[in-house]
Amino acid sequence: MGDPNLPDENITWYKNGPEVMNITTDETHRIHYHGGALFFLNISANDADQLICERFFLHRHIEPSGECFYYHLKIEVFNEASRENLTYGSIQNSAQNINIPCPQPVKDTCKTFNGKFTWFQGKNLIPGEHKGNLWINDATKDDEDIYTCLCTWTHNHMVYNSSGSRKLFVLEKAVYEKVKIISPNTKEQLVKKGSSMKLNCTVDCGINAERECEATWLINGSPAKQMNGYNETTKLEIEDPSKKTFFTATLTIAKVSAEDFQHEFKCQGSGFYTAAFSTLTLKNDG
């Protein structure tokens, strides 16, 4: 329940199984409840049943009006060997400084019980880190690992630990430069009436800058790919070893008509921060 401070008398927890078992409110028991919060203190091997054990808990909530609501909760308990596969999702980032937030369930527990945070990289303690967020400054590929946030808290005069992990992937740094039009590099293109031709709109977006790097052709202000008689294909390329990022939109005209010599062809490129364009007209070559 969202409110862990609901009156105990309005809440009942049961454990489903061959026999339905009531769960106590006695805080000296390892599994007990208090209001909307169900406590599992020091999960044991019996809870895990070797690798995985599923437990189904039924939660009954009585409103002051007398209405009664039932909620079902499925619990899965894994052993320590499965920790790598039990992260709260991954963090993939190319920033210079990367923030790793403690998983919200652990944060909430720490806040409720005024606990203390510690952080681990893999199995190694990170000294001096006691906040709900961990910052990795000047991150490199060497910093890729599983990071675990551990909260130490006290309940009924006993000390407990809750932890959650996230896996960090450090991506190659991206440099989003001002978008540059590489092609076309002239204002006019000679072509024979009735022939076929291809026009390339190529833009340079930066280094590892594929995010929102795009190019397209407009004909008299309208998208060429939506007009009859024209076909547009696109391709994103990252050069090795420079990692420069190029996007090309290729416009194919199956048969150049007299009307095409009257059109304005605009190559329009956009990147993460900026946009650019270049116009082109066709001239009859004979």
Dump strand ranges (E) for 222-264. Answer: 222-223, 230-238, 244-253
Query: What's the structural domain count of the chain?
Result: 3
**Of 170, 190, 211, which marks where a domain is finished?**
170
**Of 170, 194, 220, which marks where a domain is finished?**
170
Instruction: Assess if residue 133 is contained within a domain.
Output: yes
Instruction: Assess if residue 1 is contained within a domain.
Output: no
- Are residue 280 and residue 189 in the same domain, yes or no? yes
Look at strands 21-22 and 52-62 and give their pairing: unpaired
Instruction: Assess if residue 60 is contained within a domain.
Output: yes
How far lies 38's CA from each of 75, 112, 115, in Å?
11, 14, 18
**Of 151, 170, 189, which marks where a domain is finished?**
170
d(CA 13, CA 247): 58
CATH of the domain at 32: 2.60.40
- Are residue 58 and residue 96 in the same domain, yes or no? no
Print pLDDT tens along the chain (286 aa): 555 566 777 778 887 767 777 888 888 888 888 867 788 887 765 654 433 444 555 566 667 777 777 777 777 777 666 666 678 888 988 778 899 999 998 999 999 889 999 999 999 999 999 999 999 998 888 999 999 999 999 988 889 999 999 999 998 888 888 999 999 999 999 999 999 999 999 999 999 888 899 999 999 999 998 898 899 999 999 998 888 999 999 999 999 999 999 999 999 999 988 999 999 999 998 7
Q: Which helix (H) or strand (E) is 218 found in, with range? A: strand 214-219
- Are residue 32 and residue 120 in the same domain, yes or no? no
Range of the domain at 13: 8-78
- Are residue 141 and residue 100 in the same domain, yes or no? yes
- Are residue 69 and residue 120 in the same domain, yes or no? no
Which amino acid belongs to residue 213? C
* Cα angle: 205, vertex 207, 213; to 5 degrees: 30
Which amino acid belongs to residue 173? K
- Are residue 94 and residue 70 in the same domain, yes or no? no
- Are residue 57 and residue 157 in the same domain, yes or no? no
CATH of the domain at 260: 2.60.40.10
- Are residue 26 and residue 60 in the same domain, yes or no? yes
